[in-house]
Amino acid sequence: MLSALRVPSTRIPRIQFSRSFVLARPSYFRAMSSSTDVPQAKKQKLDQTKVIGTHNGTFHCDEALAVFLLRQTATYHDSEVRRTRDPAILETCDIVVDVGAVYDETKQLFDHHQRGFTEVFGHGFETKLSSAGLVYKHFGKEVIANKTQLPVDDPKVTTLWLKMYKQFIEAIDAIDNGISQYPSDIQPKYKSSTDLSSRVGGLNPVWNQPSSPEIYDAQFAKASQLTGEEFLAKLNYYANAWLPARELLDSFVASSKGVDPTGKILVFEQFFPWKEHLYDHEAESKTPESEKAIYTVYPDDNGNWRVQAVPVSSDSFDSRKALPEAWRGLRDDTLSAATGIEGCIFVHASGFIGGTKTKEGALRLAQAALEM
């Protein structure tokens, strides 16, 4: 799917986010009575305004984000929020999330607490969904299309939809469902409480502070705003930095064949985050081990050029083939004498990267390293 995204040059247009959808509208959050006695004037208003139902009391990250996501869609972006556990009131809502013990898309019911619920996102993901994941699974593409001003069936929307689940939504699903990030027999060396779910939880009134339905609803509005701001910030990064980097990678892999037909040396005409995209490209194109890239050559911020050994994985310090031992730790004229290449600057002591003054020198360094 990603391999279909090609660009003819290195000029990548930024995806412009739509201004027609706001982050959140706190005025739409109403303190709702658990009573079924709704004034006639309010009933008439509710007949014209979509209503999202969710539970009252203590709130969590998943339903706060689910509400935010729904309000970025065409159907629910002007909606009110009713926080209650009264089934009679929930039945009057147009959509219900995180309460009601029913998951039924046809009835717009999105709860995950019921016995026997095992829904996952699919596409290789196996984490049990929370209300955030459920809403994102069904409405996420529309939200992304609205924000990026792309057609909902554009392959880029699908790419971003999957990436945002992996990097943002899945953790919220796992935390809400009590799924540990590590095996139970591994104890973490430190405690972190700065994740989004923890910060949302901290917006709930504590035991010795005043609390009321109105206070909880006001704090829930803040929580939904917080989750939405982080969602949009992450989407902005993936739409306007991560995705263009993949398009550049595909383009440079193709153009590098003119420099090294074997594909073992990739030449990038500008620096960009390439590692993750290279592994994806190789996996999708089923590149044989014998033809995978060994070195990348690219310019640095000072106008010099770098040769970097491709790691065995995106988070590994081990290289597929580090620069030769005989060069490691050498600099300037000493390195040039050892390599026979003018304009050398350095080779790192671990051999994962080196530098030269020119592109030609960097290419020669990479070619010589391959032959050694």
pTM of whole model > 0.85?
A: no
Per mean pLDDT, which range of 211-220, 309-318, 354-363 is the poorest?
A: 309-318
Cα distances (Å, whole numbers) of residue 206 to 58, 59, 195: 10, 12, 19
The confidence score (pLDDT) of residue 17 equals 62
Cα distances (Å, whole numbers) of residue 72 to 20, 76, 335: 9, 7, 57
The residue type at 128: K
**Which strands sit side by side in the sheet containing 51-54, from one edge to the other?**
80-83, 51-54, 95-97, 109-110, 103-104
21-45 confidence digits (pLDDT tens): 434 343 434 433 333 344 554 444 4
Dihedral (Cα; 109, 111, 117, 118), 10-degree rounding: 100
Please determine, for residue 129, whether its predicted confidence score (pLDDT) is greater than 50.
yes
Please determine, for residue 277, whether its predicted confidence score (pLDDT) is greater than 80.
yes
Per mean pLDDT, which range of 80-89, 140-149, 178-187, 291-300 is the poorest?
A: 178-187
pLDDT (mean) for 135-145: 98
pLDDT (mean) for 348-372: 97
As a whole number of angstroms, the distance between CA 153 and CA 3 comes to 16
172-194 confidence digits (pLDDT tens): 999 999 999 988 888 888 988 99
Q: What does the mean pLDDT of the chain come to?
A: 90
The confidence score (pLDDT) of residue 315 equals 80
The residue type at 294: I
Token output for 247: 């398009």
Q: Which residue has the higher pLDDT, 25 or 92?
A: 92
Please determine, for residue 5, whether its predicted confidence score (pLDDT) is greater than 60.
no
The confidence score (pLDDT) of residue 13 equals 53
Confidence of residue 109 (pLDDT cuts 50, 70, 90): very high
Please determine, for residue 56, whether its predicted confidence score (pLDDT) is greater than 50.
yes
The confidence score (pLDDT) of residue 207 equals 94
The confidence score (pLDDT) of residue 128 equals 98
The confidence score (pLDDT) of residue 316 equals 87
The confidence score (pLDDT) of residue 40 equals 54
Dihedral (Cα; 361, 364, 366, 369), 10-degree rounding: -120
pLDDT (mean) for 276-296: 94
Please determine, for residue 307, whether its predicted confidence score (pLDDT) is greater than 80.
yes
Q: Which residue has the higher pLDDT, 129 or 15?
A: 129
Confidence of residue 82 (pLDDT cuts 50, 70, 90): very high
Q: Tell me the CB-side half-sphere exposure of residue 251, using CA atoms within 13 A.
A: 18
pLDDT (mean) for 327-354: 98
Cα distances (Å, whole numbers) of residue 41 to 53, 105, 290: 20, 30, 73
Q: Which residue has the higher pLDDT, 16 or 141?
A: 141
Please determine, for residue 285, whether its predicted confidence score (pLDDT) is greater than 70.
yes
The confidence score (pLDDT) of residue 182 equals 87
Q: pLDDT exceeding 90 applies to what percent of the chain?
A: 82
Per mean pLDDT, which range of 32-36, 52-56, 158-162, 332-336 is the poorest?
A: 32-36
233-267 confidence digits (pLDDT tens): 999 999 999 999 999 999 999 999 999 999 999 99
Residue 215 neighbours by CB under 8 Å, 6+ apart: 205
Please determine, for residue 171, whether its predicted confidence score (pLDDT) is greater than 70.
yes
Kindly give the residue spans of alpha helices, DSSP state H, lying in the chain. 40-48, 61-70, 87-90, 131-148, 155-164, 170-176, 196-201, 213-237, 243-256, 275-284, 332-339, 359-371
